[in-house]
Amino acid sequence: MLEFTIEDLSNADIERLRGIYEPLAESVRSLVDATIRTEADAQTVVEVKRDIDAAVARLQSRQLDGAFGVRVTTSGESMGWGNAVIGIRNAFAPLLMTRRDAEGRVSADFHLGAAYEGPPGHVHGGVAAMILDHVLGEAASVDRQPRFTGTITMRYVRPTKLGPLRTEAVQVRRDGVKTYCTGYIADAEGVTVEAEGVFITPRWLRES
């Protein structure tokens, strides 16, 4: 059901493509923030919108038919560049740069700004859920075998302030096709949201 595209790209090719498209996404991420926060007058906004429409037309003149997908290079490098949480070409992505320690613990320090707001000045509870789903899923897949969320529960301890944040997740046990993980999001004053989830080895990876 899920098609991972295999591409014959060298590491140098990947670096070259990254060098072209990553800076663009960074600029667009700033634009998303500025679009929410600007108090520019009507005339300025009309002119800016005209420039953006022109930019869209130029980018669309040659584009993929559908979503970016997940491309796996012949050397085994995985390019989920469109991914909603970690995609370097996705200006929507909070762009978690996760680390894994020797015990399989996955963590990331990250920053959430105006685009991730729910209650005034605070992270949307759904954004916290999105991030925890992703980070627990990574912890479930530390052996590089993808596992997909079966169930996940979020417990909101208190509101999470927009700004610098930290997340961490770890496997707690494995039972056949099920991998159990827990994790949290924390701000400077401590944990704000906790999560626990069961992740499932997909059928096409069992027995292999």
Site for a copy of itself, residues 21 to 80, rule: CB under 8 A: 21, 23-25, 27-28, 30-32, 34-42, 44-45, 47-49, 51-56, 58-64, 66-70
The 8-class DSSP code of residue 95 comes to: -
Beta carbon of residue 11, minimum distance to a copy of itself (angstroms, whole number):
18
Judged by DSSP in three states, 88 sits in coil
Contact of 89 with 81, CB cutoff 8 Å: yes
Residues with Cβ within 8 Å of residue 37, at least 6 apart in sequence: 114
**Region at 76 (left for phi over 0; alpha for psi -120 to 50; beta for the rest):** left
The single-letter code of the amino acid at 22 is E
CB of 138 to a copy of itself, least distance (A): 11
Taking CB under 8 A as the criterion, the residue among 7, 15, 74, 119 binding a copy of itself is 119
Using DSSP's 3-state secondary structure scheme, residue 26 falls into helix
Closer to a copy of itself by CB, 122 or 171: give it: 122
d(CA 44, CA 46) in angstroms, rounded, equals 5
CA-based nearest residue to 94, from 163, 17, 159:
163
Of positions 81, 95, 106, 170, contacts a copy of itself by CB under 8 A: 81
Per CB under 8 A, the segment of 7-15, 89-97, 103-111, 177-185 that binds a copy of itself is 89-97
- Which residues within the stretch 142-171 sit at the binding site for a copy of itself (CB under 8 A)? 146, 148-156, 159, 162
Span of 7-15, 82-90, 99-107, 175-183 interacting with a copy of itself by CB under 8 A: 82-90
In whole angstroms, how close is the CB of 102 to a copy of itself at the nearest point?
A: 26
Say how far apart CA 11 and CA 197 lie, in whole Å.
34
- 97 is a site residue for a copy of itself (CB under 8 A): no
Least separation in angstroms between CB 101 and a copy of itself: 22
